[in-house]
Chains A and B, each alone.
Chain A
Amino acid sequence: MAASSLAIEEISKELIQTRDLGVTEEGERLVELQIGPTHPGSGHMRIRVWVDGDIIVRCDPDIGFVFRTIEKLSENRIYMKTIPLVERPSLLDTTPMTIGYINALEKLMGIEPPPRAKYLRTILAELTRIASHLYGIGILAIFLGHSTGFMWGFGDRELFVELANQLSGARITYAYVVPGGVRRDMPQSFPDNVEKALRYMERRLKDWYKIFLNNPVIEDRLREVGVLRKNDAVKLGVTGPNLRASGVDFDVRVADPYEAYDELDFMVPVAEEGDAYARTLVRFEEIKQSINIIRDALKKMPSGDIIHPQIARMFNPLMKKIYEETRRVKFPGIFASLKPPKGEATARVEAGRGEALFHIVSDGSPRPYRFRWTTPSYRNVILFKYLVTGHRLADLPAIYGSLDYFPPEADR
């Protein structure tokens, strides 16, 4: 396998191993191509495609190159140490994942965070959603040879990564959500900075539409490519923007509200076409809705505690002093030996790419007996098998990009 220092959008001969499979019974001359696993795009996966001429006859996604065994690892760790663990695979939108894990844990423990903590969690989750969508759009742009979109996507994402840094103290892996609340309160300058960034993004979205969505070349590459019908989307259990672009109105934030979403004002963008263009459009519209959510949340944010009083009571005098003076939560010893009662809990969240489901089986020990976690990319990977067939090979990058598939998240 040659190094992937080639132009990213073109699937070059050196990057692909080919094997002639001869003539099939139907008289088609099939060639097997292996794209990856050093994938030129967002991560590591291998796509095996069988082509007749340049029409894809069969496609077999081979995942697992970044398999981190999170489920098994968590069985050998205390509950607190699984928080950074669930962030690693889904690096682009880590907060929804920690929210889901913590929600399941809180259901087991029978506590609920104070309202202000819920709002802070919601704001950070929406900031990461915007950042994640911009990343996905950037990757799609470079797949299509639109380098400007790639640069813009990553450039604009920087703003939201920086905002998350101001709120949580880390750029990507925040570990901001803890059982019973959040780690820190927002700094005083934060609402102003957010407003500035949101105004910039609104202005920027108009440019994005001009240069990317309404660009005739992009429209040609994306329209009526990789059409996913509503029935098929439901049957294959597709989730997230990919589902909503096929006309199914399902969003966990509305269907099963968690955190502060039931008090906030937003809409769920749905498109009917189900093609790659619709999927991209839905992502742009979701950025607009996330902007609304953040504004609304900052307006409605109540004052008060950011950690459950039951946990705050266990602070020692120094922790109490730090909490009162700087509004930062230091972990009391209880977190190290957290033993939720015996039982099971399920939680689900809407991450940037779709629905993530968390299930914890607890046997009363400090470690989870079983932790099951399905991510949106894991549920969407089945699309490679069914959606790509019948398209030209050149459409494969467009479809891949439009699905916003993120291999580490799928492999977990």
Chain B
Amino acid sequence: MASPQHPQASQQRLALGKALEELATKLSEHLKGVAAKVEADKRSMVINIEVDRSRILEAAKILNNLGFDHVKSLTGVDHPDKGVIELMVHIGSYSRGLKRIVVILRSKLDRKDPRAPTLTQIWPSSEFQEREAWEMFGIVFEGHPDLRRLLLPEEFEGLWPGRKDFEIPTRKAGEVEEPWK
């Protein structure tokens, strides 16, 4: 379905895809025994890395040593049918040669008791994002220095609004909230 491409652009894209795959193989060598799966996604220029919950910290340390120095996004994806919440961390780099690549570290957590080690020791940039992931999905980050609500108001009731089974309170047309009563 792609539109006709400039030949130079498509060549450039091919070269980029090749570089991405090379990096993916390099990463899978470094993460041997730690990551369950390392996969390059050429369309989005990302490398997906899947790790077990117990190896998250190990994988994070290796990635940090390789030059991936900051967290761009940290969040959960709820899958109630599979009984898991997937921790999804987008990691980027400000160092030369790696700026173009985003690595997505994924780990499946038990939906009943989602726990993950905190990444703040390795990437301080994840501090506020972990607070958001906790208040939205209930993912407890063990060892986080200051795990409390970030965006939700203090008086908010109901648990884990980011999850799929959270019922959004609705009002009918014309219905008025009457807090004074």
List residues of chain A with CB under 8 Å of any chain B CB: 63-64, 67, 69, 71-72, 76, 104, 107, 109-114, 234-238, 243, 248, 250, 255-256, 308-310, 344-348, 355, 357, 359, 361, 369-370, 372, 374, 378-379, 381-382, 411
Q: Please name all residues of chain A whose beta carbon is closer than 8 Å to the beta carbon of B71 when the two chains form the complex.
A: 237
- From B70, B72, B129, B161, contact of A234 by CB (8 A): B70
- Complex Cα spacing A67 to B72, Å: 19
**3 nearest A-B pairs in the assembled complex, by CB-CB distance:** A237-B125, A237-B70, A64-B151
Further contacts, 8 of them, CB under 8 A, given A111-B2, A374-B72, A381-B128: A64-B149, A104-B44, A107-B43, A111-B1, A345-B44, A374-B129, A382-B127, A411-B151
Q: Please name all residues of chain A whose beta carbon is closer than 8 Å to the beta carbon of B78 when the two chains form the complex.
A: 370
Report yes or no: B1 in contact with A310, Cβ–Cβ below 8 A: yes
- Complex Cα spacing A76 to B123, Å: 33
When A72-B161, A250-B99 are in contact, do A110 and B90 touch as well, CB less than 8 Å?
no
Q: Which of A110, A111, A310, A359 counts the most B-chain CB atoms under 10 A from its CB?
A: A359
The 23 sampled A-B contact pairs (Cβ below 8 Å) are A63-B150, A69-B161, A72-B161, A72-B168, A111-B3, A114-B3, A234-B94, A235-B125, A236-B70, A236-B124, A237-B71, A237-B124, A243-B94, A248-B94, A308-B3, A346-B44, A346-B102, A348-B72, A374-B73, A374-B90, A382-B124, A382-B125, A382-B127
Q: Please name all residues of chain B whose beta carbon is closer than 8 Å to the beta carbon of A64 when the two chains form the complex.
A: 149-153
Q: Please name all residues of chain B whose beta carbon is closer than 8 Å to the beta carbon of A110 when the two chains form the complex.
A: 1-2, 43
Report yes or no: A359 in contact with B73, Cβ–Cβ below 8 A: yes
Interface residues of B in 117-169 (CB under 8 A from A): 123-129, 149-153, 161-162, 168
Report yes or no: B70 in contact with A235, Cβ–Cβ below 8 A: yes
- Complex Cα spacing A300 to B132, Å: 44
When A237-B71, A346-B102, A348-B102 are in contact, do A67 and B94 touch as well, CB less than 8 Å?
no
Report yes or no: A235 in contact with B152, Cβ–Cβ below 8 A: no
Residue of B nearest to A374 (CB): B73
Write the nearest CB–CB distance from A395 to chain B, whole angstroms.
22
Residue of B nearest to A305 (CB): B3
- Complex Cα spacing A107 to B41, Å: 11
Q: How many residues of B contact A (CB 8 A)?
A: 39
Residue of A nearest to B91 (CB): A237
Report yes or no: B72 in contact with A357, Cβ–Cβ below 8 A: yes
Determine if B61 is an interface residue (Cβ-Cβ < 8 Å).
no
- Complex Cα spacing A111 to B10, Å: 14
When A63-B150, A250-B94, A309-B3 are in contact, do A379 and B72 touch as well, CB less than 8 Å?
yes
Report yes or no: A63 in contact with B125, Cβ–Cβ below 8 A: no
Report yes or no: A67 in contact with B152, Cβ–Cβ below 8 A: yes
Determine if B40 is an interface residue (Cβ-Cβ < 8 Å).
no
Determine if B110 is an interface residue (Cβ-Cβ < 8 Å).
no
Q: Please name all residues of chain B whose beta carbon is closer than 8 Å to the beta carbon of A378 when the two chains form the complex.
A: 128
- Complex Cα spacing A326 to B151, Å: 45
List residues of chain B with CB under 8 Å of any chain A CB: 1-3, 5, 41, 43-46, 69-73, 75, 77-78, 88, 90, 94, 99-100, 102, 104, 123-129, 149-153, 161-162, 168
- Complex Cα spacing A72 to B102, Å: 24
Write the nearest CB–CB distance from A333 to chain B, whole angstroms.
18
Q: Please name all residues of chain A whose beta carbon is closer than 8 Å to the beta carbon of B72 when the two chains form the complex.
A: 237, 348, 355, 357, 374, 379
Q: Please name all residues of chain A whose beta carbon is closer than 8 Å to the beta carbon of B152 when the two chains form the complex.
A: 64, 67
Write the nearest CB–CB distance from A338 to chain B, whole angstroms.
14
- Complex Cα spacing A238 to B43, Å: 26
Q: Please name all residues of chain A whose beta carbon is closer than 8 Å to the beta carbon of B94 when the two chains form the complex.
A: 234, 243, 248, 250
Report yes or no: A361 in contact with B77, Cβ–Cβ below 8 A: yes
Residue of B nearest to A108 (CB): B43
Report yes or no: B44 in contact with A235, Cβ–Cβ below 8 A: no
- Complex Cα spacing A238 to B44, Å: 22
Report yes or no: B162 in contact with A72, Cβ–Cβ below 8 A: yes
Q: Please name all residues of chain A whose beta carbon is closer than 8 Å to the beta carbon of B124 when the two chains form the complex.
A: 235-237, 382
Write the nearest CB–CB distance from B75 to chain A, whole angstroms.
5
Report yes or no: B44 in contact with A107, Cβ–Cβ below 8 A: yes
- Complex Cα spacing A256 to B43, Å: 13
Residue of B nearest to A250 (CB): B94
Write the nearest CB–CB distance from B127 to chain A, whole angstroms.
6
Report yes or no: B1 in contact with A372, Cβ–Cβ below 8 A: no
Write the nearest CB–CB distance from A233 to chain B, whole angstroms.
8
When A359-B90, A411-B151 are in contact, do A112 and B162 touch as well, CB less than 8 Å?
no
Q: Please name all residues of chain A whose beta carbon is closer than 8 Å to the beta carbon of B129 when the two chains form the complex.
A: 374
- Complex Cα spacing A250 to B102, Å: 14
Residue of A nearest to B162 (CB): A72
Write the nearest CB–CB distance from B80 to chain A, whole angstroms.
12
Q: Please name all residues of chain B whose beta carbon is closer than 8 Å to the beta carbon of A69 when the two chains form the complex.
A: 161
When A64-B152, A67-B152, A359-B88 are in contact, do A372 and B128 touch as well, CB less than 8 Å?
no
